Amino acid sequence: MTACAFGAFAQKNIDLEINLLLPQNNTAYGNLVDGQDSIPFFFEITNNGTANVAANDTLTLTYVGSFVGQNTNTKYRITEELSNYTLASGAKDTLGFFLKQGDVIASSSSENILVKFPHNAHDTLRVFIYGVDVNGDLFADDGVDEVTGSISGNNITGAALTFGTPTALKDLFANKAEVLNVYPNPTNGNVNIKHALTTAAEASVKVTDIAGRVVYTQNFGKQAAGEQTFNMNLSHLANGVYAIELTAGSQKATSKFTIKK
């Protein structure tokens, strides 16, 4: 679910629905080459309401994916407005384009925004939609909360994608000299780790799922040398096997643990 700022009351009965046609969910690609490789980004918009989208209405589409600042590597959301666009009650329309790796997709006030899907990693591509009439009033759309600005339900669509060969859980333990003490294991979500730090250093933890996705991080600040114990509440994570890595300066220790609620 996402949120946007709105300031008026809905009037027209227009229930917008958006579905991603391409790429399909769980599509696997090779690592994309700048200036050469593209992926299709096509979606279908449906008007499930009783009123028509008129030419003086405005639909706003927001794209969320690997759109990265050329200089800062900041991630951006790309927003596009469809004006002078019509869609009758009950009608559907297909829109889309190709995303070429390395191309400029938009510009901020300070830099170009590039299409930059990652190498050897998982990523997601999403699009969400809402509409306002000529007076700036939101459509009466169940997927848009007029009070909080939350957008949910059929107003959002997306796909999980894979690029190259993501790091699997087993790969995270290659050439690791130190083993991290994790307890209890299995756990219902309350996790403790214990390890002896060789020198005083900033300590942080990273938790990764079996697909190699980072699902939790925490920085514990500077810690003294010697045996240290850290506690984390990971009850929000689903049941399954996870990797955990403690980093303290140049020192690293890893282990696996299981969440079983």
Averaged pLDDT score across all residues of the chain: 86
Residue-level pLDDT at 8: 45
With a cut of 80, say whether residue 93 has pLDDT above it: yes
Q: CB pairs under 8 A, 24+ apart, for 103-107?
A: 103/35, 104/70, 105/67, 105/78, 106/67, 106/76, 106/78
Q: What distance in Å separates the CA atoms of residue 197 and residue 199, rounded to the nearest whole number?
A: 6
Query: What is the pTM assigned to this prediction?
Result: 0.61
CB 90 within 8 A of CB 47: yes
CA 175 to chain centre: 30
| CATH placement of domain 2-163 | 2.60.40.10
- Res. 176 pLDDT band, cuts 50 70 90: very low
Beta strands 156-163 and 27-29: pairing type?
parallel
Q: Residue ranges per domain, the chain?
A: 2-163, 169-259
Find, among 80, 79, 64, the residue nearest to 126 by Cα: 64
For the domain made up of 169-259, give the CATH fold: Immunoglobulin-like (2.60.40)
The tens digit of pLDDT for each residue in 110-140 reads: 899 999 999 998 898 989 899 989 988 889 8
Q: Is the peptide bond before 186 cis (omega within 30 degrees of 0)?
A: yes
Q: Is the peptide bond before 184 cis (omega within 30 degrees of 0)?
A: yes
For the record, the structure tokens of 193 come out as 């780790």
Q: What distance in Å separates the CA atoms of residue 153 and residue 64, rounded to the nearest whole number?
A: 16
2-163 and 169-259 in the same fold:
yes
